[in-house]
Amino acid sequence: MSIFEQKSRIGEYGRTGVLHTRAGDVPTPTFMPDGTRGAVKGLTPQQVVDTGVKVVLANTYHLHLQPGEAVIKELGGLHAFANRKGPLLTDSGGFQVFSLGEHVKITEDGVHFKDPKTGDKRFISPEKSMQIQLDLGADMIVAFDHLIGLGDETETEVKDAFDRTHRWLERCIVEFKRLTKDMDEAERPLLFGVVQGGLNLNLRKKSLEIVQESEVDGIAIGGLSVGETRAEMETVLKALAPLYRDDKPRFLLGVGTPEDLKIAVENGIDMLDCVLPTRNARHATVWTENSKKIHLTNEKYGVDSSVIDKTCNCYTCKNGFSKAFLRQMFKAGDPLGGALASIHNLRYMSRICEEYQKIV
């Protein structure tokens, strides 16, 4: 059976489908919240499931630093450790490592860096990233790539990162195959290779060609949402949209506003992840009808008895938690406010995906 089954079209390049993982099937398009340390901050696993979320992304870098993949493996893997029943995806750790800036030294072997909390020297290579993610027990894992920002980087720096990403992909595939050689097909996690190339469309297209022709299960689009404008991101996604193979799922890393989700899906993306919906929620910012963003600490909500969005069927809205109550929770520093707002924002993103899934 194919890993991905395409069901229907969304416009010229978008689509609906079903992604088959060892932990269950995932209807697409789908939004995945970031459970950085194995859990979505402030929410129980059941609360996350109740929002319609089908996949949670956990962070390889943070879990490697604490408590360590050996501990999690000993405790039965990330599903048991975090009490997560459905599919889990881990990123490669590359984004967090490269974001450490001057504390990072990149070599062809891998990346040397200091633990920002302890100062201990650490090292992650393509092989090490595969080992960590397999020990964590994720159902979908991502190859280790060389990420750069989209600020003052030169064409040479972009090209160097492009080339290194593909050399590292080859090493990831070799190590992944070694680590999974004794697994049945149904037991094996899915491996995603990463497309890089900055805003250079020729490099992006070439990277996609290389990744799609390699022995990976899915395509991850990396190196966006790192400082470029929405228009620049859309230009890259539009350039890649006609070039995807139908049999592989496509995952856009680190993108997660309602507007960006719609742009991505209509340009062929099946999966997205981002910390933004829950991070915004913990800072009292939520989405309402037509992707309007409101700030619940605004004084005008002090006597507002209405819910965040009367059209929403999330726990927060359907149970009548008013803007006035939520404002009070945030003003009092009560974490219930962030939890209720997070539930709403995750349900908001899931509802957008579900509307696309209805297209036949």
pLDDT class of 117 with cuts at 50, 70, 90: confident
> In degrees rounded to 5, what are phi and psi of residue 114?
-105, 140
Pick the closest to residue 171 from 210, 125, 219, 208 (CA basis): 125
CA dist., res. 359 & res. 357, Å (int): 5
Residue 282's closest CA among 227, 187, 346, 348? 346
C-alpha distances (whole Å) from 61 to each of 5, 154, 200, 283, 314 are: 31, 27, 28, 24, 31
**Superfamily of the domain at 4-274:** Queuine tRNA-ribosyltransferase-like (3.20.20.105)
**Environment class of 49 (CB within 10 Å of its CB; exposed 0-12, middle 13-18, buried 19+):** middle
Concerning whether 139 is annotated as a catalytic residue, the answer is no
Where in the chain is CATH 3.20.20.105? Answer: 4-274
Helices (H), 154-272: 155-180, 201-213, 230-240, 258-265
Helix or strand holding residue 345 (H, E): helix 335-357
From 91, 135, 139, 145, the catalytic residue: 91
Give the global pTM.
Answer: 0.96
For residue 48, what pLDDT band results from cuts at 50, 70 and 90? Answer: very high
Residue 7: both structure tokens together = 């069901």
For this structure, is 273 an active site residue? Answer: yes
3-state secondary structure of 173: helix
Burial class (CB in 10 A: 0-12, 13-18, 19+), 324: middle
Average pLDDT over residues 174-195: 97
- Decide which of 116 and 4 is more confident: 4
Output the pLDDT for position 145.
94
Catalytic member of 135, 217, 273, 309 = 273
pLDDT confidence of residue 60: 93
Contact 66, 100 (CB under 8 A): no
